[in-house]
Amino acid sequence: MRRLGLLIVTALTTLTTLTSFTTAAEAADPTNVAHRGASADAPENTLAAFRLAARLGADMFELDVQETKDHQLVLMHDTTLARTTDAERVFPGRSPWQVGDFTLAEIRKLDAGSWFGSRHDGEPVPTLGETLREMDGTGLGLLLEIKAPQLYPGIEGRVAAELRGNPAWLRQGRLVVQSFSWRSMRTFHRRLPQVPVGLLGTPAVQDLPALAAYATQINPPYQDLTRAYVRHVHSLGMQVFTWTVDDPATWRRMASYGVDGIITNRPGMT
């Protein structure tokens, strides 16, 4: 009887220890990633938004990379210039204003800030190289999304070359490259295998082991997440960065699931 009692006490102690470990892990502060910079308070994908993210206490900033007609890497979320620049006014006959139909010199003529507010008049569309150099001394990490790579054959190699030209970003822990195109991420991984790769979306649980062969992160929308899914990803040695969380209650819920990072338009919210 005494032996049975000792076994029960041991089991309860072990369970309590495991529960405490899980709770502590799940309560850890996730990495605060500024989505397109502090995009709730400054024009997205601009140096103004990235600088503000640093001032607001973000750990990382996220940006979107596309390619111009002359194969220069610029920051733009949409595949057209219309929403976040004055391209319709400057180039009225160039509808639908696809990013890839314009040279860098033409995109330099655009205002990427006035749509957000007059205090940002004249804010330019930055290149990836300019952004890497400008943000190098801030201490922030970078989550770099290759946007619509099917429109820009070879973009993975050009992004890799730009990163090699700014080697400070290749230090461990500073950089993750992600995309909705998992094929593109396999290609990028072959180019720069030392750089962690993130897969945007919510792969089926049965597909996760194969993806873990080259991916470091699985990055789903927060609406898709459960604790069980996060644990499946973690069990394969990958991280979870979720998006896009702009209210404190959802932030706390995602943190309780044990996610490793939260992508937000409001990095100062926490």
Any idea which residues carry the catalytic annotation? 35, 77
- 141: closest CA among 87, 63, 207, 205? 63
Strands 261-264 and 197-200: unpaired
**Element housing 73 (H / E):** strand 73-75
- For 31, 76, 213, 246, the CA distances from 264, given in Å and listed in that order, are 10, 17, 28, 6
Cβ neighbours for 23, distance < 8 A, ≥ 6 positions apart: none
Q: H helices within the chain, ranges in order? A: 2-27, 47-55, 87-90, 104-107, 128-135, 155-164, 182-191, 208-211, 227-235, 248-256
The token pair that represents 99 in the structure block: 């990013």
